[in-house]
Structure 1
Amino acid sequence: MNVLFVCSRNKWRSRTAEDLFKDSNFHNVRSAGTAPVARIKVSEKLVSWAEVIFVMEKRHREQLKSRFPLVLNEKEIIVLNIPDEYGYMDDELVELLKASVSTYLEI
């Protein structure tokens, strides 16, 4: 399964999620950001590739729906409700991601 994690700048939350889950035998993982200054910017190609998309906040889901309405027609978008208050690989962020994502994916 192809999994995409999205936050704003793709520096801390979604990048942590990608690095945390990238070695799984069950899915392929990528990450991107919605902001113009994102490390890796979310694109139609990435959204098309993904079978499931995890966003950190509701506003990320709304931004994706606004930018890629046709591509997102049949995609599952899961809001994790993880605020932008953690650094890359922060212990609390790692635990939040594991707890949130394990409901949906084998990790």
Structure 2
Amino acid sequence: MTRALFICSRNRLRSPTAEEVFSSWPGIETDSAGLAPDAVTVLSIEQLAWADIVFVMESAHKARLSKAFAAHLKSKRLVCLDIPDRYTFMQPELIALLERKVGKFLR
């Protein structure tokens, strides 16, 4: 079982969409969080410990995550998807983009 954690800023649109899309894939467990203090689910150390692979939506997320949680990322695969914050929750274009960019890491 591969555990995939998806991170964006506020955990309202991109990362929850990714969590939902990949939760139905066989052999994949998913979770999502945000880095902003007002995120629906603020990223926790426990979530990072749980994850096998961590996906961030933007390079700014990767930098912020690496700075704040460096000690907890040492054994993790960290992937930046370069998906801008211009999509709505479960928007078909976002789903297609996620499947194209994330799918190769979860097969």
TM-score, scaled relative to structure 2: 0.95
Residue 10 of structure 1 deviates from its aligned partner by 0.5
Residue 24 of structure 1 corresponds to 25
> Is 1:51 the counterpart of 2:52 in the alignment?
yes
Which letter does structure 2 place at the counterpart of 1:77?
L
Shift of 1:24: 2.2
Q: Secondary structure at the match of 1:102?
A: helix
The answer for unaligned runs of 5 or more in structure 1 is none
* Letter matched to residue 68 of structure 1: F
Q: CA deviation at 1:62?
A: 1.1
Residue matched to 2:67? 66
Identity %: 40
Tell me by how many angstroms 1:54 deviates: 0.5
Secondary structure, in 3 states, of the residue corresponding to 2:79?
Answer: strand
Question: What's the offset of the Cα at 1:74?
Answer: 1.5
For residues 49-93 of structure 1, the C-alpha deviation after alignment (integer angstroms, 9 at most, x for no partner) is: 111001000111111111111110121110000000000001110
Unaligned residue ranges in structure 2 (runs of 5+)? none
SS of 1:48's equivalent?
helix
Instruction: Tell me if 1:95 matches 2:96.
Output: yes
Kindly report structure 1 stretches of 4+ aligned residues shifted beyond 6 Å. Answer: none
Larger relative helix fraction: 2
Give deviations 1:29-63, integer Å, cap 9, x for gaps: 00000001100011111011111001000111111
Deviation at residue 25 of structure 1 after TM alignment: 2.2
The one-letter amino acid of 1:71's match is H
2:90 & 2:28 partners in 1: Cα distance? 20
| Number of residues of Structure 1 aligned to a counterpart in Structure 2 | 106
TM-score computed with the length of structure 1 as normaliser: 0.95
